Structures are given as C-alpha cells and as structure tokens.
Amino acid sequence: MRTTRIIQIIIGIAGLGALLLGLLSWIAQMNVIGIHMLFGLAVALTLLVMSILALMTRGMRVWGIAGVVYALFVPIFGVTQFTLLIGDLHWLIRTAHMLVGIGAMALAGTMSARYAVLKQRRTSPVTEPQSVH
Ligand code: HEM
C-alpha cells in the first residue's frame, strides 16, 4: 500500500536521523540538537498521522488511541528532559528518552504493517473454493 510505504520511509529516515544526531550530541558533544528536534518532530508527526489512520480503521482503534497518546508524549518528554533527574542519574532520563524515540519508530512501523494487512484483506477477501457438481 502506498500510504503505509510512505509512512515507513519517512519514519525510517526521520528516526535514523534523530537517533544519529542525538547520539552525536550525547557522545561527541556536537551542537546538533536543533536539527535533532526537527527530525524527532517528524517522527512524532508521522506516528500521529499513522494513529489517525488507525483510529479510522475498524480493528485498529486501540492502536490508534495508544499511538496518539505516544505521539504527544514523545515531544513533551523531549523538551522537558533537561529538567528531570538532574545530576548523576540524568543518564537514566537520556536513555529513557532514546528508548521512547526508538519505541515511536517501532510503534509506527508495527501499526503501518498491521494497517496494510487489514486493508489488503478487506480489498481482496479470501474466496470460498467452488464445489464441483
Ligand atoms: C519531538 C521529538 C524530540 C525532541 C523534542 C527531542 C529533544 C531532545 C533534546 C532536547 C535532547 C538533548 C538533551 C540533553 O542534552 O540533555 C535530545 C537528545 C537525544 N535524543 Fe531526542 N528529541 C526528540 C525525539 C527523539 C527521537 C525520535 C529519538 C530516537 C529515535 C531521539 C534520540 C535522542 C538521543 C539518542 C539523544 C542523546 C541522549 C540525550 O541527551 O537524551 N530523540 N533530544
């Protein structure tokens, strides 16, 4: 399906970009957080679009609700993490933020795959074998 293919491509590029830039900022202390946040926002918005599609699809509504909540949580956690657990334990927040980001990619990927299967089944239902008389 074209829509899910596009969603998977955007999530792949934006997610990989966000992850690499985040790691560059963390490990190499490079000043790339501005562009990292743009890539991260693209991940969250793509997850939101996928979740809205799921909300409109019978059999995927729970996934849709979970996706909308998750898509809102990603940027909120992203911009507030500076203020959380400051000190020696701040690496826990950084790791949690990274895992939440990777989780957003995984959730969007899983949802788009399920959505494609559901749509495929509905457009080409399995036909009963014809009996020979
Ligand atoms: C709108 C979404 C996002 C926002 C606003 C955001 C924001 C930020 C900010 C402000 C930092 C720097 C934190 C610090 O220096 O203490 C950061 C770091 C980082 N981000 Fe994101 N981020 C977002 C999405 C993502 C996604 C989707 C991923 C992974 C796929 C990710 C992975 C990372 C990593 C690995 C770091 C370095 C470790 C850290 O400092 O937490 N981020 N992000």
- Per-residue pLDDT 10s for the chain (133 aa) are 788 999 999 999 999 999 999 999 999 999 999 999 999 999 999 999 999 999 999 999 999 999 999 999 999 999 999 899 889 999 999 999 999 999 999 999 999 999 999 988 888 765 555 555 5
For residues 19 and 101, the answer to whether their CB atoms sit within 8 Å is yes
Let me know if residue 108 belongs to a domain.
yes
The answer to whether residue 42 is domain-embedded is: yes
Q: Which domain holds residue 69?
A: 2-118
pLDDT for 127: 57
Q: 79 C-alpha vs ligand 1 centroid, how far in Å?
A: 8
Amino acid at 107: L
Whether ligand 1 lies within 6 angstroms of the CB of 33 is answered as yes
Q: 36 lies in a domain?
A: yes
Nearest atom in ligand 1 to 15's CA = 30
Indicate whether 102 belongs to any domain: yes
pLDDT score at 67: 98
pLDDT value for 119: 87
Which of 97, 99, 100, 107 has most ligand 1 atoms within 8 Å of CB, for mutation? 97
How far apart are the CA of 57 and the centre of ligand 1, in A? Answer: 31
Q: What's the number of domains the chain is made of?
A: 1
